[in-house]
Structure 1
Amino acid sequence: MEKDEIDEMPGKHVGETTPQEGLVTRLREDELTRREWFARVGKAATLVSLGRPVSTKGTAPVPASPPEDIHALPPGLYEASNDHLSHALSSEARFHPTPPGTETDYARSAAAPFEAQFFSKNEFEVVRRIVELVLGETAEKSSPGAQGDGGRSISAEVAEWIDLAAFSAGAAREAARRLAPEHRALAIAYYGSKAVEDIENSDQEKTYREGIKWLTEESGRRYGKGFLALTVEQQTELLKSASDDRPEKDLENAGTRFFHLIKMEVVRGFYTSRAGLNELGYKGNTFYAESPGCPGEDYKKTAGGPG
């Protein structure tokens, strides 16, 4: 972009630096660095695709901008490196091989019938029924591609996620409590202090156990039978008494804590499933040549340009 073009930008006043000028300046300053980085990435990709070992000399990734309080955080790399690229290119399989002991792995389709790890068989059926009621009878019909992995219903998939989250909660809590001060500071910098403190102090296992016990006892007291034997209307009425819409807003007990927790996990499980992402219209990390819904002349108008 030439200087004359910058001077003709809409909304620019004499002696004033426009956002466009600042962007151009940053682009010029970063141009060489970015070219070098892409050249290095291209070199790494070429060598990996040819099956030759990748030299680490001169291929160090560009680190992210350090946090303001850099001394409170551990030294480390906060952006992907060429090692991640070479790892992805080293296999043509759907799932790339991961080193033994890796903290994360791919979620693979279940090869055997599901067995709950935290809930008993009856408790899991209660959880699954609550998921169905929270999502609504038409939830699975309203989303394109609503079937989960292996043809499972979305309610089953979300219920399985809740079981996994409950099973993992204790280990996650203990791991959070054992974080070194600098790593705890890093977690707070990324997720906020409340999120970190919630993991350190919450007892999801107790909330689920006491909540299902409350649901069983309250179902028997009101209707003389178990929760799964109730009609849809009775189940809905019972859950509503523990929901945010309960008549006594100040009332808090095992039932209200249980419903609050499971409702959050239903939302989290659904909107990270294939059906939930489809409902949101999520397309992944997609590159757009121009802003969707505001192309060409429309953008000029909103930016204050002529026309």
Structure 2
Amino acid sequence: MDRRDALKTLSLGTLAASFAMTGCEQAPEEAAKQHKFWKHVTEEDLEKWESQFFTDHEFETVRQLSNLIIPADERSGNAEDAGVPEFIDFMMLDRPQNQTPIRGGLNWLDVQCQKRFNKKFVDCTEQQQKEMLDEIAYPEVASPEMQPGVTFFNRFRDLVASGFWSSKIGIEDIGYMGNQPYDWQGCSHEALEHIGLADKAKANT
């Protein structure tokens, strides 16, 4: 299972509960609107988005980090394509308790990259960025001095996953289609035979 599929698995429980409460007859774009952000924000809004909480530098860090967590693949676009950076920006205002941990974590990431590569995270090569993230993405093997980064990354990754798989792109990526017509032809002869009803079914035809 790759990183993207692992994140999807972690997110499906929450999404399933949401769909169960609202009904499963909706198309992806309608299902996505169950979250207040997607309910009020259009694609045009995303194109014109100006950060409500993050500085320009922080927002660029959020953008790059989100795309490293959920890159594009053969099924769909990346986190940025889904509007995840804007989602996270919104969530900073909707859930103020996240502001200090996320802003502090972004700063921590820059400090660590300055120590390692003499430049901030957004100015690092993709390989350098991944090298840094490898130090904090796996709590069970992270060194003690990396624990602040581990805590930040876990929280940030949850935000990315929540934003992506509650978006239209993310719901389509899951394969969610809502109720679809299905032409059921009845049980197979083998199945009826297995439960001892094959002769009865034959007599009724």
Q: Same fold (TM over 0.5)?
A: yes
Amino acid at match of 2:155: L
Aligned residues: 163
Give the 5 Å matches for 1:155-234. 157-170=83-96, 203-234=97-128
In structure 2, the residue matched to 1:241 is 135
Amino acid at match of 1:120: T
Residue 296 in structure 1 maps to residue 187 in structure 2: yes
Q: Using the alignment, how far apart are the partners of 2:193 and 2:136 within structure 1?
A: 47
Residue 276 in structure 1 maps to residue 178 in structure 2: no
C-alpha distance 296-225 of structure 1, shift in aligned 2 (>3 A): same
In structure 2, the residue matched to 1:115 is 50
Q: CA shift at 1:286, angstroms?
A: 4.1
In structure 1, the residue matched to 2:160 is 266
Q: Share of identical aligned residues, percent?
A: 25
Q: CA shift at 1:260, angstroms?
A: 0.4
Q: CA shift at 1:169, angstroms?
A: 0.4
Q: CA shift at 1:279, angstroms?
A: 1.7
Is contact 1:124-1:159 (8 Å) kept?
A: yes
In structure 1, the residue matched to 2:74 is 142
Q: Using the alignment, how far apart are the partners of 1:123 and 1:231 within structure 2?
A: 17
Helix, strand or coil: the match of 2:162?
helix
Q: CA shift at 1:105, angstroms?
A: 5.4
Is contact 1:214-1:255 (8 Å) kept?
A: yes
Amino acid at match of 2:91: A
| TM-score (structure 2 length as normaliser) | 0.66
Q: CA shift at 1:284, angstroms?
A: 2.1
Q: CA shift at 1:304, angstroms?
A: 3.5
In structure 1, the residue matched to 2:81 is 154
Q: Using the alignment, how far apart are the partners of 1:129 and 1:114 within structure 2?
A: 16
Q: CA shift at 1:289, angstroms?
A: 6.2
Q: CA shift at 1:259, angstroms?
A: 0.5
Is contact 1:210-1:254 (8 Å) kept?
A: no
| TM-score (structure 1 length as normaliser) | 0.45
Q: CA shift at 1:130, angstroms?
A: 0.6
Q: Using the alignment, how far apart are the partners of 2:189 and 2:65 within structure 1?
A: 46
Q: In angstroms, what is the RMSD of aligned CA positions?
A: 3.4
Which structure shows the higher helix fraction? Answer: 2
In structure 2, the residue matched to 1:127 is 62
Is contact 2:108-2:149 (8 Å) kept?
A: yes
Amino acid at match of 1:260: N
Q: Using the alignment, how far apart are the partners of 1:298 and 1:159 within structure 2?
A: 53
Q: CA shift at 1:207, angstroms?
A: 0.8
Q: CA shift at 1:142, angstroms?
A: 1.6
Is contact 2:84-2:164 (8 Å) kept?
A: yes
Gaps in structure 1 of 5+ consecutive residues? 1-78, 81-103, 171-202
C-alpha distance 300-113 of structure 1, shift in aligned 2 (>3 A): same
Structure 1 residues 183-209: Cα deviation after superposition (integer angstroms, max 9, x where no partner): xxxxxxxxxxxxxxxxxxxx3111101
Structure 1 residues 94-113: Cα deviation after superposition (integer angstroms, max 9, x where no partner): xxxxxxxxxx9544343562
Amino acid at match of 2:59: F
Q: Using the alignment, how far apart are the partners of 1:252 and 1:298 within structure 2?
A: 61
Q: Using the alignment, how far apart are the partners of 2:157 and 2:123 within structure 1?
A: 21
In structure 1, the residue matched to 2:203 is none
Q: Using the alignment, how far apart are the partners of 2:196 and 2:56 within structure 1?
A: 64
